[in-house]
Amino acid sequence: MQGKRILLIVGGGIAAYKSCELVRLIRREGGAVTCVLTAGATHFVTPMTLAALSENPVHTTLWDLDAEAKMGHIQLSRSADLVVVCPATADLMAKMAAGIADDLATTLLLATDKPVLAVPAMNVRMWQHAATRRNVASLRGDGVEVLEPDAGPMACGEFGPGRLPEPTAILAAITATLGGQAKPLAGRHVLVTAGPTHEPIDPVRYIANRSSGRQGFAIAEAAARAGARVTLVAGPVSLPTPAGVTRIDVETARDMAAAVDAALPADAAIMVAAVADWRVAAEAGQKLKKDGSGVIPPLTLTENPDILARLARAPNRPRLLVGFAAETENVVPHAEAKLARKGADWIVANDVSGDVMGGTRNTVHIVRATGVESLPEMPKDAVAAALIERISDALA
Ligand code: CTP
């Protein structure tokens, strides 16, 4: 980040206040920030605040005689290393996707020759609206990096995806995009498993677990951003596929094992999936019925293949094999035992006794034969960025 110049375009949404914290974080890492506010943004955060935090003039209008006499907007759009749109509102992204340039922010976005990173924040229904889905897809197609919003309670009282990611996670994405010009995983194939598996009982019922897939998807996204070819074998989750990632959807542990085998060879495999340890021995062909006799049908379980342990012994074993260990007690000792038992190179252990499964934050310990590295609690995409940085170093 040292010496990098960020042009920060602040859109008009309630999350605009978080752009102040982002400016502070970029400055702390040694970057320089120039802010541009849309008219809407000025209702949420003042130019004075951002000028003080960035220690740079703040721009709000295309009709600035002094600036435009020197081709102001063109120069502004070209003199940055990266353009960050934060928050990217539904309206701003719609204009970007359509190529509309009717104010300073949109004119800069159309005139720039630099990479653009958009950080959406909006109401969950606006994010899920077909028009926004279309606009996000076409922006990604145009080469704009559009981050996934966080899910959770919103300022408007609703719940779901649409929250601005934590400023630390945005900073990690900015750093990765800037550093990404170096693409430390270019030419590597990274295999990631994510999500739960569903093990059928009968045609309508299954055994499952609480895994949301978020951590695995974030890792796949970070690996792709670092230049890797990424295959993501995903259990049943409804998360969007990260940009640049090849996704293979599976349902059961056995499907996942087969998809992993088919995706090999890989330079690194990161097994984040919460694979069901057991499945029902004999899946019923028809829905099990209560027959009135009061006899409860017995569910006999049988063990699923251990995908990670099998991969560790496979002839085409990836050079770096990383497992995850979801534990509810004795987190590090259990992970150390798992490292030896499964034959992985690293085990990333996390304590899932709280709301980690399904939540957006995670606290992990990286357990290697040489010792344990504990990371502080952070958003799952920051965990992903930290892991991918270490994986890049290990494969270098
Ligand atoms: N794993 C796997 N196949 C399985 C079970 C687990 O590949 N059938 C992988 C997971 O993806 C994860 C690691 O093994 O990377 C550890 O998963 P976990 O469920 O914590 O371990 P278990 O083997 O189930 O151990 P335990 O039941 O003792 O916790």
The pLDDT tens digits of the residues spanning 75-86 come to 788 889 999 999
**Residues of the chain above pLDDT 70, percent:** 97
Average pLDDT over residues 91-107: 97
- The superfamily (CATH) of domain 5-179 is Flavin prenyltransferase-like (3.40.50.1950)
Catalytic status, residue 86: no
- Ligand 1, atom 9, residue with closest C-alpha: 308
pLDDT at position 280 over 70:
yes
Ligand 1: list residues with CB < 6 Å: 193, 253, 271, 273, 275, 277, 304, 306-308, 323-326, 338
pLDDT at 376 (0 to 100) = 86
Find the range with the poorest average confidence among 89-98, 141-150, 250-259: 141-150
Cα-to-centroid distance, 274 and ligand 1 (Å):
7
149/119 Cα distance (integer angstroms): 7
pLDDT at 65 (0 to 100) = 65
Whole-model pTM? 0.63
Find the range with the poorest average confidence among 56-65, 69-78, 172-181, 286-295: 69-78
Task: Encode pLDDT of 177-204 as tens digits.
Answer: 887 656 889 889 999 999 999 999 999 9
pLDDT at 71 (0 to 100) = 53
CATH code, residues 189-395: 3.40.50.10300
Q: What residue spans define the domains of the chain? A: 5-179, 189-395
Q: What is the rounded average pLDDT for all residues in the chain?
A: 92
Average pLDDT over residues 365-386: 92
